[in-house]
Structure 1
Amino acid sequence: MQASSTVIDNCLIDDFRFMSTDPSIPKEIEHKTRTNLGVNISYQKAWRLKEHMVKILHGDTVESYALISRFFDKLVKSNPGTCTALEMDDSGHFKFCFMAFGASIERWKYCIPIISIDGTFLKCKFGDILLTASSQDGNNQIFPLAFAIVDSENDVSWTWFFEKIRNSFSERANLVIVSDRHLSIPKGVLRVFPDVEYCVCTKHLLSNLKLHFKDPLLDKYFFSCAYAYTVKEFECHMRCMEFVCLNIRDYLSNVGFEKWSRTYSCRRRYRMITSNCAESVNSVSKDLRELPVATMLCSIRDVLQKWFMNEVKLLLQ
């Protein structure tokens, strides 16, 4: 039995109103059309139907870029203290956008002076990147600070993101920025925050170590080194690590002990030695990454409003 895309759309649209980017969605469409309508469709057609329903529910991907400016205007009016920025190229095409909510900017002074940075690919056809900055509050809870969408992850985009963070948030003494080892990030930090200590995420560093060293005890000894408070404690774990992974000291010395260990850090690291905060915020937006950009920004706003409300409820308990 055959059925047109329009018929299937009309029958399934309510089921997929809150559609995610989960790759199993086309398979769900195949299953529902077979069980509900008695129609067999290919995976390719199911994927096209998914794309079409996203457009029906959330708008056109291309046209969405033109809506960012209007969304930012309304956001600033309804959220006092919010900072936004939108940049286009010489041809008038989208390049970068940035938003930091007034609530995040106001509460930054109550967070520990460490900013966790991360970038993740969006699932839209243009391959944009979502950049996030996060910290931890006084209760060791993840606290989102700022978001940006950029056309690519490079020196220019990261420097632009850091400039917007600097212009939006008050300066903090002894600030530390933690991220993965993307080469453009330390360059941007040095240009915009020359007095800030830049550190690498220990989780990403460990992933790189595992490409060269294979011992199963590596995780244990490496994190023991990273979390050590004293040189004596650090050296004890380092010697254990050297015993199972020859030449690992030289490798980590080239990275710089001060870049990943609490012992040698010039500034307080608390327990925030990874970029997990920003990655956790990015994971919250996982199901939003295939949406048109304006819809995604609006959805991030909704997620953060619920996040902040939950924080207030916890404080009042």
Structure 2
Amino acid sequence: MNDFSLSEMEMNMSFTDLLNRAQMSENYGEDTSLGVGLNVVNEPIVSLEVPLNEIDYDENGSDIDDDEIIDARTKHKKNEMLEKESQHELERLGEQLQRDNVRYDIDSDYDDEFDVHSPTASSDEDEYGYLTTPACTRQDTKSQKAKVNSLDWIDTTFSVEQKFENAVEFRKEIIDYCARNGVDVKYTKNHKNKVGVRCKDDNCKWKIWASIPKNKRHFEVKTYHGVHSCGRKNKVKKITYKWIPRHYLSKFKSNPYMKLQEITDSVWNEHGLKVSVHMAFRAKKCALNLIVGEYKEQYGMLNSYAAEIYRSDHNNTIKFQLNANVFHRMYICFATLKEGFLAGCRPFISIDGCWFKGPYGGQLLVAVGRDENNQMFPIAWAVVDVENTESWSWFLQLLAEDLQTSDGAGYTVMSDQQKGLLKAVAEMWPQAEQRVCARHVYMNFREVFGGGQEYRMHFWKIAKSTTPNEFKENVDKLHAISPEAAANLMGRNYEKWCRAFYTPQCQCDAVDNNMSEVFNAFILNSRHKPIITMLEDIRESIMERLHKKRDFIRSKNLAICPRAQEQLEKAKIAARGWNAAFGGRFTIDLFL
């Protein structure tokens, strides 16, 4: 970005002088000359004053703020807010735990320190390790019920001869039992070959004993007394932080920014148990570690995933590359999407990249078109380890092959001026018309001159000028307010973001990259998932979207698409004050 410092003489320079000065300056390595565009500015024109509420002067600068674009921006803002709040909450709790000298090991094989040690001997077991209390078997259940006090209750979760894989699985079932019933227990024996458990209430007779039978490999319940005489509790010490991710892992996957208070509320509402914020903090850390393991596993399955996509349709394009046996990048373009784009979409492509939210980073590069209804139509996407000129060139080369073009002739490419992207487009698609998102230009402009209402209004008037004459008038108005601001805009490659200098080849006058913005919001909830899960979410979501859009268009009894019809009706209303008169030969003059 060029910095402009104007002298007093320069402050009084005319608009034409400013243009000439901008043409001689170097900006983004591009030729900023207007060419023949301003050779007609000396002709008088009629300028219509449009009410402020009819032009989008907000900082987003979208041409058509339909519900889809508004929802996309709302999702982005909400996601950014949740991400910041979640990160701040984890940092704050982590600092507090450090101050309190609280240490924890999320890799421990035991649920808490009390599980590590068990009594060396128990007074209620015989020489074979069985509890001496008479067993509660199925045969005497009826007689036992007759002896139970009306305030007691019988648990039927366990039964004698019930089998478990090992002691670990048995302990997990004990903890789940405590959570379901709101009871606390203690281990009378805790060994890999035998486990004894009784209710922590000394007045309660509930107890269970399980061990490995002789010449067997499974774990089996030997003795069980399932009568509780104690009441339900809302705090159970056997419920540790490891129990939470085991039961709420799917929630952590779908919402990695879940707040600690949401975790405690979920446990209370679903199980009637109170857990501390510190336990929720440790549970969240443990859950994220478990998810990381799934991320790593799915990267090892990418080769099979790519083979399955190709097997399902040989016309699908799938490119999968490794670098020293480590994932490098993957390109995906489904046959139905490229066929649909070539058959019914404008030759207008928005390209953009977005970050992954997972532990291994990476970026998703996407190419999005506009369908006949002027809405998002995804074409292709790629997963890359880093965004640079080389990765963009690779992506654009494969995209050109799928779209049957060698130099991009006839296509218009809209981008956000990402790192290395403009250079890659110029090299791989040299004949394509390049545009840059006016909204991102405004963001950079705002960093220098601020985001006041006056600057914002004049910027979008300039960006949405439809003729060179109107462009000159709007720049003159900004120059009258701030010559420095006008000079700054003239040095920002205006031919690529001002509507007055667009060619008509793509039949699209968009000045911002909102189609890519809609796509990024469309996959927002998938970007933090493991890679194959994310790619499948994208595929399934697009499939469902195309089905809904097809049914929507079929339900309309219109000669043209609904959004085009809507724009036509607005144009009719705007043209009511104009008159047409014969101008000689084959021309018609329009005047107010």
Structure 1 distance, partners of 2:389, 2:423, is: 7
Partner of 1:7: 243
In the alignment, which of 147, 155, 164 is matched to residue 398 of structure 2? 164
Match of 2:469 in 1: 232
Q: Does 1:222 align with 2:455?
A: no
Structure 2 residue identity aligned to 1:193: W
Q: In 1, distance between residues paired with 2:336 and 2:482? A: 46
- Is contact 1:176-1:267 (8 Å) kept? no
More deviation, 263-272/109-118: 263-272
The answer to whether structure 1 residue 108 and structure 2 residue 341 are counterparts is yes
In 2, the alpha carbon distance for the partners of 1:24 and 1:18 equals 10
> What SS does structure 1 have at the residue aligned with 2:340?
helix
* Match for residue 254 of structure 2 among 19, 24, 27: 19
In structure 2, do the counterparts of structure 1 residues 48 and 221 end up closer, same or farther at CA, with 3 Å as the change threshold? same
Q: 1:186 to 1:25 in 2, by over 3 A?
A: same
Q: Identify the structure with the greater helix proportion.
A: 1
Match of 1:307 in 2: 545
Q: Alignment length, in residue pairs? A: 311
Structure 2, gaps ≥5 residues long: 1-234, 556-592
Measure, in 1, the Cα distance between the counterparts of 2:268 and 2:481: 56
Aligned ranges for residues 69-88 of structure 1 at < 5 Å? Answer: 69-79=303-313, 81-88=315-322
Question: In structure 2, which of residues 412, 416, 423 is the aligned counterpart of residue 187 of structure 1?
Answer: 423
Q: Which amino acid aligns with 2:329?
A: F
Q: What's the CA shift for 1:190? A: 1.4
Aligned counterpart for 1:265 among listed residues 474, 494, 502: 502
Does structure 1 conserve the Cα–Cα contact (< 8 Å) formed by 2:244 and 2:283? no
Q: Aligned pair in 2 of structure 1 residues 103, 26: CA closer, same or farther (>3 Å)? A: farther
CA distance in 2, matches of 1:227, 1:302: 36
Query: What residue in structure 1 maps to residue 480 of structure 2?
Result: 243
Q: 1:19 to 1:160 in 2, by over 3 A?
A: same
Q: Secondary structure at the match of 2:351?
A: strand
The letter for the 1-side match of 2:355 is F
Q: What do the CA deviations read for 1:147-196 (whole angstroms, capped 9, x no partner)?
A: 11111111111111111211222336431111112230011111211111
Q: 1:49 to 1:271 in 2, by over 3 A?
A: farther
| 1:235-287 Cα shifts (integer Å, max 9, x gaps) | 12222222334323322222222111121234546232211111210111111
Match of 1:274 in 2: 512
Does structure 2 retain, via aligned residues, the 8 Å contact 1:115–1:178? yes
State the secondary structure of the residue aligned to 1:139.
coil
Q: Give the aligned CA root-mean-square deviation in angstroms.
A: 2.2
Q: How does 1:115-154 map to 2 (within 5 A)?
A: 115-154=349-388
Partner of residue 524, structure 2 = 286
SS in 2 for 1:229: coil
Q: Give the TM-score taking structure 1 as reference length.
A: 0.90
Rounded Cα–Cα distance in structure 1 between residues aligned with 2:540 and 2:397: 25
Does structure 2 retain, via aligned residues, the 8 Å contact 1:33–1:40?
Answer: no
* Contact 1:26–1:50 under 8 Å retained in 2: no
> Which secondary structure does the structure 2 equivalent of 1:308 belong to?
helix
Aligned counterparts, 1:94-105, within 5 A: 94-105=327-338
Q: Is this contact kept in 2: 1:117–1:133, CA < 8 A?
A: yes
Q: Which has the higher mean CA deviation after the structures are superposed, 177-186 or 32-41?
A: 32-41
Deviation of 1:27 after TM superposition, in Å, equals: 4.0
Q: How big is the shift at 1:30?
A: 3.2
Aligned-pair identity in percent equals: 23
- Compute the displacement of 1:106 (Å): 0.5
Letter in 2 for 1:295: T
| AA partner of residue 319 (structure 2) | A
Which of 432, 444, 465 is 1:208 aligned to? 444
1:209-249 per-residue CA deviation (whole Å, 9 max, x = no partner) reads 10112232222222222222111111122222223343233
What is the deviation of 1:304?
A: 0.9
Q: Distance in 2 between matches of 1:173 and 1:162?
A: 13
* Residues 82, 105 of structure 1: 8 Å contact kept: no
Instruction: Give the secondary structure class of the aligned counterpart of 1:271.
Output: coil
Q: TM-score with structure 2 length normalisation?
A: 0.50
Q: Is the 8 A contact 2:346 2:370 kept in 1?
A: yes
Q: CA contact under 8 A between 1:33 and 1:41: conserved in structure 2?
A: no
Task: Mark the CA change 1:7 to 1:50 in structure 2 (over 3 Å): closer, same or farther.
Answer: closer
Contact kept, 8 Å, 2:414 with 2:434, in 1: the verdict is yes
Residues 46/216 of structure 1: CA separation in 2 closer, same or farther (3 Å cut): farther
